[in-house]
C-alpha cells in the first residue's frame, strides 16, 4: 500500500459517500429557489452558504457528486463494455485481418474526441447528461481497446495460456476463463484514469452548455454559473472547482496506486501505450 | 521503411474516406431542412423548393455526398447556407488561430514537462522530485477553463497586466498578438504540461533502469551525461505518443479556452455553426478536425518507426 | 501601431497593456484618453449575416439600422417620430395618404443617388422579398407612387397609426436598387457609417461614410465586438478591451464597475418583455385556469431579484412603460400559491419548458421551475441553442408547453393577434381591439390598446416575467449612451468619447 493509493481511495470514497447520502438526505433542497437567502453567507445550517438563487451550495455539491459519478460510471461502462472485448479479440489474434480492422476503426474513433462527439450529438438530439455520457463513453472506447489489446498480447504468451491452447480449449473459453481475469487489473486501472478524464470532460461540456441540464446540480455548471460572481463572491467558484480537482485527483491517484499495488511490472505497458 | 510508409498512407486515405461518410451520414440526421432554416420561419413552400434546388439538397444523399467530398478533395468546402459566404477561407482562418494557440500551449507544456519530468525521475527519491510529481498530479486535476478563468482574474482583471481576451492578427500588431496569447497559452500549457510531466518522468525512470544506461554509468559517465547520450532517444518514444494524443484532443479541447479568452478559433466556429444550424459549416469543421487528428496519428506512427525500428 | 510602451516592453508588460485591448481593428485608442479616435462596443450576439430582410433576430438591425441604413423617418429618444431621409411629410385628411418629400443630394455608399424610385423599390421589396413575420405590419400599404424624383405618395388601405412607426423600424430601411445583390455580406445604405470590415467570430468595424449627407458622426470609426460569454465581455471592459458593454448579461457582476472614476452605468428600460410563453394551443395550457394558476404561482419580485439581480421592471402585460398606453398590470395576478392550487383543483402537471440557451432564460427558468413545483407543476427545462434550434422547435413548430424569451421588437402587441404565432393565442376580441386602435384617433388608440393589454393579462395568454433593463456600462467619459433602449438600432452617431 502506498500513500497515493490511500489518498486516492479516501478522495474517491468521499465523493461516493456524498453521492450516496444525497439520495436520502441533503441539508436543503438543492434546487429550491429562495430569494430571501440570496448569496447567503456560510453558517446557520448553510455550511458553505448559498448561490444567487438562494440554493444551498453544500447540498448542490452533494447532488453534483451524484451527477459526476453517474456520468463517469455510464461513460466508463460504455467504453469498457465495447472496448474490452474488441481489444481482447485484437490481442488474441494479433496478426489477423480482424485485429487490423479493429485497430484501424479504433484509430478512426479516436479522431472524434469526447468534446466533438458531444457537440455533434447535442446538435442532433439536444444537449443533456445522456448525450454527454454517450459521447464521453464512445470517445473512451479506443483507450480501453488499446489497453485490453496490449495486456492480452502479454497474457497470450504465458505458459498457462499456451497450455490451454494446446489442450484444445475454445477461444471464447480461453478469453473468459484465462485472459479476462489476468487483464482485469489493467482494466481497473484504466477505468480509474478514464473516470478522471470523464469528470473533466463533463465539466468542460457543462461549461460550454452542452452538459447536464439545469437545474440538476453539476459541478461544471456550478462553476459556470459562479463566473459572474467571481469578483464579489469567489467562494461560489471555489467549492465546485475544488470538488472537480479533488475528484479528478482522487481517481488519478487511485489508478496509479492500484497499478503499482496490483502489478508493478505492468507500469511499462501503460507508459508505452 | 518505404513499404511501411505506403501502408500507413493507404490506411490514412481509407480512414479519411470512411470518416467523410460517417460525418456526412451523421449530419444528415440533424433535424431541419437547410433551405427552411436559411429562409426563416415563414418561408413559402415555393421559396423553400427553389432554395433547395439552388443548394442542391433536393438531390439524393449519395449525389450530395459525392459533390461535397469531391469538393473537399479540391479544398472546396462549399458555401454556407446561413451566411452565404464560402466556408473554406473561414475554416482556414480559424484553423490558423487554433493551431497557433495549441502549438504555443504545447511548447509551454514541453518547456515545463521535459525539465520537470526528467528532474523528478532522476531525483525520484528526494523531496523535490516527489513534490514535482505531486504538483503534476494536481495540475492534471484542474480543468483548463478553470485555469483560464483564474489566470484572467489574476493577471488581467486584478493586476491589469495582460488583456483578458481577444485575438489580434500578428500582421496587424505583433506585440498585441503576443500579449493577447500569453494567458491562453499558459492556460493550455500549464495543464498539458502537468499531464506531460508524468509521462516524461515515467519514461525517464524506465530508461534509467535499462542495462545500457547502467553500463554507461559504470563506464564513468555522469548520471545526466549518460541519460543525455543514451536515454533521450528511448525515453522520447512514449513521450512523442502522448504529445500526439494531446495535440489531437487539444484541437477541439482548446474550445473552452477559446470561449474564456474570446479567441476566434476552430472550436468556436464549430459551436457557432451548431447554434446557427449551419450544416455545411459544421460538416466542414468536423471533417477538418478529424483529418487533423488522423494526420497527427500518422506523423506519430511514422516518427515512432523512425525512433524505434522494431515497431515497424 | 507603435507605442511608447514598446520601448519599455521588456519585463514591462504592465505598461504595454493599457493599449493592447480591443482585438478588433478600431479600438486601439485604449484608455489613454486624448484624441477620441474610435470606440469599441461589446455586444452579445453576432449576426450570422448582415441581411435583416431575410434573417430574424435583433442583432442585425441593432448594428446596421440608423448607422448604415436609414429610413424616411426615425425614432428619437422619447419615442417620437422625426424626419430622416424625408425632409417632411403630409398626411391627408382621411389619414390614408402620406406624401413624403425626400431629402436631396443623398447618395448610397455604392455611389447611386437616393431617389423616389429607391423608396418604391424598398417598399416593394418588403412585400415581395422579405422573409420576416413582422413584414405584415406594412400590409396596410396599398400602393406607392412617385410624383417626382423627390416626392413619394404612399396610399394606405385604411388609416393606420402603426404605419409611420413601422417606417421608423427596419421595415422602412431604404435600399439602393443597385445595392441588394449581396445583402448578407455587403450592406449598402445612406447612413453615416459604412461597413469597414467584418472579422467573423470577433468584430464588425464601421467606418464613417465620407459622402454622408448630414452631420459627420463624432467618432470616425466604431468597432462592434461580439462576446458569447458574459464574463468575457465584463473582463474586456475591465481591461480596456472595449469601451462600452451595450447590454449587461451578468447583472450580478455590476459591482465590478462601481468605481465612478473609471466607469459609468446607465440604467433604463427597453422594449424587451421577457415573456413566459404558454402554448395556448395544447393541453395543459389551453385551459385558461391552468394558465392563470401559473401567473399566480410565480413570485415575480423574487424571480427578478434572483435571476437578474433585481434589474428590470415588473410589467404584467405586453406593453413597455415607454409606450403611451402603458398601465401597470402587475396587480392582476399577485403572487398567491393558495389561489394557484385552487385553480389547479388538486391536479398536477408535467410540462416541457423549452428555452433558448441564453443567460436570462436559463436563470429565469430555474426560478420558474422551482416556484411552479410548489403548486404541483413539474417543468422539465430543456435549453435549445439560440437562435436556430429554438426558432425551429418552439417558434416555428410550436412544439413546446412553456418557454422564456425576450420579445425585443418595439410595439409588438400584434404578435398575440396572430393565432398562428407560437403562443397559439386565439381571441378574436383582441384582434378587433388592435385593429380599432390602429385606425382610430390618437386617444382611441391609447384607450383600445390599454383594453387589449388588460385582456391579454386577464386571459393569461402568457406570463410576463419582467421588462428587460437597458443596462449599459461604459468607461467614464463616453457620452451619448441611450438611457432607454427603445429603438431597434444602437445609435452610434450620438456616441462620443472625451
Asked if C255 lies within 8 A of A231 by C-beta distance, the reply is: yes
Q: What is the DSSP code (8-state) at residue C28?
A: G
pLDDT digits (tens, 9 = 90+) for C118-158: 999 999 999 988 888 788 889 999 999 999 999 999 999 99
Does the beta carbon of B248 lie under 8 angstroms from any beta carbon of chain A?
A: yes
Interchain contact, A246 vs B26, CB within 8 Å: no
Say whether B166 and C225 touch across the interface (CB within 8 A).
Answer: yes
pLDDT at residue C1 in the model: 36
Give the separation between CA B156 and CA C232, rounded to whole angstroms: 11
- C-alpha cell, A182: 489476468
Instruction: Please report, for residues A146, B239, B305, C216, C468, the alpha-carbon distance to residue B118 in angstroms, rounded to integers and kept in the order given.
Output: 26, 12, 24, 64, 57
CA gap B96, B32 in Å, rounded:
31
Chain C residues lying within 8 Å of B275, measured CB to CB: 385-389
The Cα C256–Cα A267 span in angstroms is 50
pLDDT for B39 equals 66
Q: Do A215 and C230 touch (CB under 8 A)?
A: no
Separation in Å, CA of B302 to nearest CA in chain C = 36
User: Residue C13 has which C-alpha cell?
Assistant: 508588460
Q: What is the pLDDT of residues B67-109, one digit of tens each?
A: 888 888 888 888 887 777 889 998 999 999 999 999 999 999 9
pLDDT, tens digit (0-9, with 9 covering 90-100), for C433-459? 999 999 999 899 999 999 999 999 999
- Strand-strand pairing, C349-356 and C377-384: parallel
Q: Which of B18, B143, B237 sits opposite A200 (nearest CB)?
A: B143
Cβ(C337)–Cβ(C297) below 8 Å: yes
- In this predicted model, which residue has the larger pLDDT, B84 or C230? C230
Contacts of B293 in chain A (CB under 8 A): 110-111, 113
Of C229, C253, C357, the CB nearest to A229: C253
pLDDT for A132 equals 92
CA C282, C284, C287: angle at the middle one, nearest 5?
90
Kindly tell me if the per-residue pLDDT of A35 is higher than 80.
yes
Least confident of A254-263, B121-130, C241-250, C253-262: A254-263
Return the residue of A nearest to B20 by Cα. A108
Partner residue facing C230 (CB), from A54, A126, A228: A228
pLDDT surpassing 50 at residue C32: no
Which of C258, C306, C379 to probe the A interface (max A CBs under 10 A)?
C306
Query: d(Cα C237, Cα A223) in Å, to the nearest integer?
Result: 22
In chain A, what percentage of residues exceed pLDDT 90?
53
| Residue to test with chain C: of A228, A230, A234, most C Cβ within 10 A | A228
CB contact under 8 Å between C306 and A228, yes or no, is: no
In this structure, what DSSP letter does residue A178 have? I
Q: Report how far Cα C126 is from the mean position of its chain's Cα atoms.
A: 19
Give the CA distances from residue B301 to residues B4, B241, B296, C39, C257, in Å, rounded to whole numbers and listed in that order: 10, 8, 9, 51, 53
pLDDT level of residue B226 (50, 70, 90 thresholds)? low
What's residue C10's pLDDT?
29
For residue C475, list chain B residues with Cβ-Cβ distance below 8 A.
none
Specify the 3-state DSSP secondary structure of B282.
Answer: helix
Q: Which member of C56, C185, C236 has the closest CB to residue B41?
A: C56
Identity of the residue in B146, B202, B237 whose CB atom sits nearest the CB atom of A223: B146
Global ipTM: 0.86
Q: Classify C312 as helix, strand or coil.
A: coil
**Chain B interface disruption, residue of C2, C12, C21, C224, most B CBs within 10 A:** C21
Whether residue C275 has pLDDT greater than 60: yes
Q: Which residues of C touch B39 (CB under 8 A)?
A: 54, 131
Chain C residues whose CB is inside 8 A of the A31 CB are 366, 369-370
Report the gap between the CA of A46 and the closest CA in chain B (Å): 25
Place of cell 498457462: A160
Least Cα separation, residue C107 to chain B (angstroms): 27
Residue of C nearest to A35 (CA): C302
Q: Is the pLDDT of residue C485 over 80?
A: yes
Of B127, B136, B145, which to mutate for an interface test with A (greatest number of A Cβ within 10 Å)?
B145
* pLDDT confidence of residue C310: 94
Contact B179 C6 (CB under 8 A): no
> Locate cell 525539465: which residue?
B115
C-proximal residues of B, 212-251, CB under 8 Å: none
Is residue A115 reached through a cis peptide bond, with omega within 30 degrees of 0 on the bond before it? no
Say if residues C56 and C391 touch (Cβ distance below 8 Å).
Answer: yes
Cβ-based neighbours of B26, under 8 Å, separated by 6 or more: A120, A124
Instruction: Please judge whether A231 and C256 are an interchain contact, meaning their C-beta atoms are less than 8 angstroms apart.
Output: yes
User: Cα–Cα distances in Å, from B275 out to A120, A127, A208, B268?
Assistant: 11, 12, 12, 11
Q: Is A241 in the C-facing interface, judged by CB distances under 8 Å? A: no
Search chain B and give the residue with CA nearest C235: B164
CB distance C20–B180 less than 8 Å?
A: yes
Evaluate if residue C16 carries a pLDDT over 50. no
Chain C residues within an 8 Å CB radius of A123: 385
Give the H or E element holding residue C288: helix C288-297
Q: Kindly state whether A267 is in contact with chain B, defined as any CB-CB distance less than 8 angstroms.
A: yes
Name the B residues in 58-87 with CB < 8 Å from any C CB: 82-85
Cβ partners under 8 Å of residue C5, min gap 6: B175, C12, C15, C16, C17, C18, C19
Chains touching chain C at 3 or more Cβ pairs under 8 angstroms? A, B
A163-193 pLDDT, tens digit each: 888 888 888 888 888 888 888 888 988 999 8
pLDDT of amino acid B238: 77
**Which positions 290-309 of B are in contact with A (Cβ < 8 Å)?**
290-291, 293-294, 297
Asked whether residue C364 carries a pLDDT value surpassing 90, the answer given is yes
Nearest-by-Cβ selection for A248 from B18, B31, B141: B141
For residue C137, give the DSSP letter: G
* Residues of A whose CB is below 8 A from B257: none
Contact C370 A33 (CB under 8 A): yes
Q: Which residues of B touch A200 (CB under 8 A)?
A: 143
CA distance C208 to C200: 20
* Number of inter-chain CB pairs under 8 A, B vs C: 147
Q: Which residues of chain C approach chain A closer than 8 Å at the C-beta?
A: 229-231, 234, 250-253, 255-256, 299, 301-303, 305-307, 309, 357, 362-363, 365-367, 369-371, 381-385, 389
Give residue B230's pLDDT. Answer: 65
Q: Which of residues 124-163 of C touch B (CB under 8 A)?
A: 131-133
Residue C167: pLDDT above 80?
A: yes
- Chains touching chain B through at least 3 C-beta pairs below 8 angstroms are A, C
As a whole-number percent, the residues of chain B with pLDDT over 90 amount to 24
User: Could you say which of A107, A116, A246 has the minimum Cβ distance to residue B289?
Assistant: A116
CA distance B243 to chain C (A): 29
Q: How confident is the model at residue B311 (pLDDT cuts 50, 70, 90)?
A: low
pLDDT (mean) for B202-213: 77
Q: Where are the alpha helices (DSSP H) in chain A?
A: 3-24, 57-92, 97-110, 114-125, 129-156, 159-166, 171-174, 180-208, 219-226, 235-262, 267-272
If one counts every other C-beta atom within 10 angstroms of the C-beta of residue C263, the result is 18
Higher local confidence (pLDDT), A270 or C203:
C203
- B157 touches C: beta carbon within 8 Å: yes
Tens-digit pLDDT profile for residues C188-202 = 999 999 999 998 888
pLDDT tens for each residue of A37-49: 899 999 888 999 9
Report the distance separating Cα B91 and Cα C335, nearest Å. Answer: 52
Using a CB-CB distance cutoff of 8 angstroms, which residues of chain A are in contact with residue C369? 31, 215
Distance from CA of C158 to the nearest CA of A (A): 46
Q: What is the structure's pLDDT at C173?
A: 96
Amino acid at each position: 500500500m502506498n500513500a497515493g493509493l490511500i489518498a486516492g481511495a479516501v478522495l474517491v470514497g468521499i465523493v461516493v459517500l456524498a453521492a450516496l447520502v444525497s439520495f436520502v438526505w441533503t441539508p436543503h433542497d438543492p434546487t429550491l429557489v429562495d430569494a430571501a437567502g440570496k448569496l447567503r453567507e456560510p453558517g446557520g445550517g448553510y455550511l458553505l452558504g448559498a448561490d444567487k438563487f438562494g440554493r444551498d451550495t453544500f447540498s448542490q455539491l452533494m447532488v453534483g457528486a451524484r451527477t459526476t459519478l453517474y456520468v463517469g460510471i455510464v461513460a466508463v461502462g460504455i467504453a469498457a463494455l465495447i472496448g474490452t472485448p474488441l481489444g481482447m479479440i485484437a490481442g488474441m489474434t494479433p496478426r489477423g485481418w480482424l485485429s487490423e480492422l479493429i485497430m484501424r476503426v479504433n484509430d478512426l474513433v479516436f479522431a472524434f474526441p469526447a468534446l466533438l462527439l458531444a457537440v455533434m450529438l447535442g446538435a442532433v438530439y439536444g444537449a443533456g447528461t445522456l448525450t454527454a455520457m454517450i459521447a464521453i463513453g464512445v470517445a473512451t472506447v479506443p483507450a480501453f481497446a488499446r489497453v485490453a489489446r496490449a495486456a492480452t498480447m502479454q497474457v497470450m504468451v504465458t505458459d498457462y495460456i499456451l497450455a490451454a491452447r494446446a489442450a484444445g480449449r475454445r477461444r471464447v473459453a480461453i478469453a473468459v476463463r484465462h485472459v479476462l481475469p489476468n487483464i482485469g487489473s489493467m482494466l481497473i486501472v484504466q477505468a480509474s484514469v478514464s473516470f478522471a478524464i470523464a469528470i473533466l470532460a463533463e465539466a468542460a461540456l457543462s461549461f460550454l452548455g452542452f452538459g447536464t441540464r439545469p437545474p440538476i446540480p453539476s459541478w461544471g455548471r456550478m462553476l459556470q454559473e459562479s463566473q459572474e460572481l467571481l469578483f464579489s463572491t469567489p467562494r461560489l467558484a471555489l467549492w465546485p472547482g475544488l470538488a472537480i480537482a479533488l475528484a479528478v485527483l482522487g481517481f488519478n491517484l487511485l489508478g496509479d496506486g492500484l497499478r503499482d499495488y496490483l502489478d508493478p511490472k505492468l507500469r511499462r505497458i501503460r507508459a508505452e501505450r | 521503411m518505404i513499404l511501411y510508409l505506403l501502408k500507413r498512407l493507404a490506411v490514412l486515405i481509407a480512414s479519411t474516406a470512411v470518416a467523410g461518410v460517417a460525418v456526412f451520414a451523421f449530419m444528415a440526421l440533424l433535424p431541419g431542412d437547410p433551405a427552411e432554416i436559411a429562409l426563416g420561419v415563414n418561408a413559402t413552400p415555393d421559396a423553400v423548393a427553389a432554395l433547395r434546388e439552388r443548394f442542391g439538397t433536393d438531390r439524393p444523399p449519395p449525389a450530395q455526398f459525392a459533390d461535397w467530398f469531391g469538393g473537399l478533395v479540391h479544398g472546396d468546402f462549399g458555401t454556407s447556407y446561413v451566411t452565404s459566404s464560402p466556408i473554406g477561407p473561414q475554416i482556414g482562418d480559424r484553423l490558423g488561430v487554433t493551431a497557433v494557440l495549441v502549438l504555443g500551449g504545447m511548447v509551454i507544456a514541453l518547456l515545463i514537462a521535459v525539465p520537470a519530468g526528467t528532474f523528478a525521475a532522476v531525483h525520484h527519491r528526494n523531496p523535490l522530485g516527489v513534490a514535482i510529481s505531486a504538483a503534476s498530479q494536481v495540475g492534471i486535476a484542474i480543468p483548463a477553463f478553470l485555469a483560464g478563468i483564474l489566470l484572467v482574474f489574476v493577471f488581467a482583471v486584478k493586476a491589469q497586466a495582460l488583456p483578458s481576451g481577444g485575438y489580434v492578427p500578428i500582421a496587424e500588431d505583433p506585440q498585441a498578438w503576443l500579449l493577447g496569447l500569453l494567458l491562453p497559452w499558459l492556460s493550455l500549457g500549464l495543464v498539458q504540461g502537468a499531464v506531460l510531466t508524468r509521462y516524461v518522468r515515467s519514461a525517464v525512470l524506465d530508461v534509467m533502469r535499462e542495462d545500457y544506461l547502467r553500463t554507461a554509468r559504470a563506464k564513468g559517465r555522469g548520471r545526466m551525461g549518460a541519460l543525455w547520450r543514451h536515454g533521450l532517444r528511448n525515453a522520447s518514444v512514449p513521450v512523442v505518443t502522448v504529445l500526439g494524443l494531446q495535440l489531437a484532443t487539444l484541437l477541439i479541447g482548446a474550445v473552452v479556452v477559446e470561449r474564456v479568452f474570446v479567441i476566434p478559433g476552430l472550436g468556436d466556429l464549430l459551436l457557432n455553426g451548431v447554434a446557427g444550424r449551419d450544416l455545411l459549416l459544421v460538416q466542414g469543421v468536423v471533417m477538418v478536425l478529424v483529418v487533423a487528428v488522423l494526420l497527427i496519428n500518422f506523423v506519430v506512427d511514422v516518427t515512432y518507426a523512425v525512433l524505434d525500428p522494431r515497431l515497424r | 501601431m507603435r507605442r511608447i510602451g514598446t520601448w519599455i516592453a521588456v519585463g514591462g508588460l504592465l505598461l504595454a497593456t493599457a493599449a493592447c485591448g480591443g482585438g478588433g481593428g478600431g479600438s486601439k485608442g485604449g484608455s489613454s484618453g486624448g484624441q477620441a479616435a474610435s470606440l469599441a462596443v461589446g455586444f452579445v450576439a453576432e449576426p450570422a449575416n448582415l441581411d435583416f430582410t431575410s434573417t430574424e433576430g435583433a442583432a442585425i438591425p441593432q448594428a446596421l439600422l440608423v448607422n448604415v441604413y436609414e429610413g424616411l423617418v426615425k425614432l428619437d429618444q422619447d419615442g417620437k417620430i422625426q424626419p430622416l431621409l424625408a425632409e417632411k411629410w403630409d398626411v391627408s385628411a382621411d389619414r390614408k395618404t402620406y406624401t413624403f418629400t425626400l431629402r436631396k443630394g443623398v447618395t448610397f455608399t455604392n455611389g447611386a443617388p437616393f431617389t423616389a424610385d429607391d423608396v418604391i423599390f424598398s417598399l416593394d421589396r418588403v412585400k415581395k422579398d422579405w422573409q420576416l413575420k413582422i413584414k405584415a405590419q406594412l400590409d396596410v400599404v396599398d400602393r406607392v407612387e412617385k410624383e417626382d424624383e423627390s416626392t413619394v405618395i404612399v396610399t394606405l388601405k385604411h388609416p393606420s397609426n402603426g404605419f409611420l412607426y413601422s417606417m421608423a423600424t427596419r421595415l422602412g430601411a431604404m435600399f439602393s436598387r443597385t445595392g441588394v445583390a449581396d445583402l448578407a455580406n455587403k450592406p449598402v445604405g445612406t447612413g453615416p457609417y459604412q461597413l469597414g470590415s467584418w472579422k467573423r467570430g470577433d468584430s464588425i468595424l464601421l467606418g464613417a461614410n465620407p459622402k454622408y449627407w448630414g452631420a459627420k458622426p463624432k467618432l470616425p470609426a466604431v468597432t462592434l465586438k461580439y462576446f458569447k460569454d458574459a464574463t468575457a465581455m465584463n473582463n474586456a471592459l475591465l481591461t480596456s478591451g472595449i469601451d462600452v458593454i451595450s447590454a449587461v448579461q451578468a447583472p450580478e457582476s455590476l459591482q465590478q464597475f462601481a468605481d465612478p472614476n473609471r466607469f459609468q452605468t446607465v440604467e433604463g428600460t427597453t422594449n424587451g418583455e421577457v415573456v413566459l410563453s404558454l402554448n395556448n394551443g395544447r393541453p395543459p395550457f389551453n385551459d385558461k385556469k391552468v394558465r392563470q394558476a401559473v401567473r399566480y404561482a410565480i413570485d415575480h419580485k423574487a424571480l427578478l431579484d434572483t435571476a437578474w439581480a433585481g434589474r428590470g421592471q415588473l410589467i404584467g402585460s405586453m406593453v413597455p412603460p415607454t409606450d403611451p398606453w402603458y398601465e401597470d398590470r402587475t396587480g392582476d395576478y399577485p403572487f398567491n400559491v393558495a389561489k394557484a392550487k385552487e385553480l389547479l383543483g388538486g391536479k398536477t402537471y408535467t410540462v416541457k419548458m423549452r428555452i433558448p440557451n441564453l443567460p436570462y432564460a436559463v436563470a429565469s427558468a430555474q426560478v420558474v421551475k422551482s416556484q411552479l413545483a410548489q403548486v404541483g407543476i413539474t417543468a422539465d427545462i430543456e435549453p435549445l441553442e439560440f437562435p436556430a434550434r429554438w426558432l425551429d422547435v418552439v417558434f416555428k413548430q410550436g412544439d413546446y408547453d412553456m418557454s422564456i424569451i425576450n420579445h425585443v421588437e418595439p410595439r409588438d402587441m400584434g404578435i398575440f393577434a396572430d393565432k398562428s404565432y407560437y403562443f397559439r393565442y386565439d381571441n378574436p376580441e383582441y384582434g378587433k381591439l388592435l385593429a380599432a386602435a390602429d385606425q382610430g384617433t390618437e386617444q382611441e388608440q391609447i384607450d383600445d390598446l390599454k383594453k387589449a393589454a388588460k385582456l391579454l393579462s386577464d386571459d393569461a395568454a402568457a406570463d410576463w416575467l419582467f421588462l428587460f433593463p437597458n443596462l449599459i456600462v461604459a468607461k467614464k467619459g463616453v457620452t451619448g449612451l441611450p438611457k432607454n433602449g427603445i429603438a431597434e438600432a444602437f445609435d452610434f452617431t450620438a456616441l462620443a468619447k472625451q
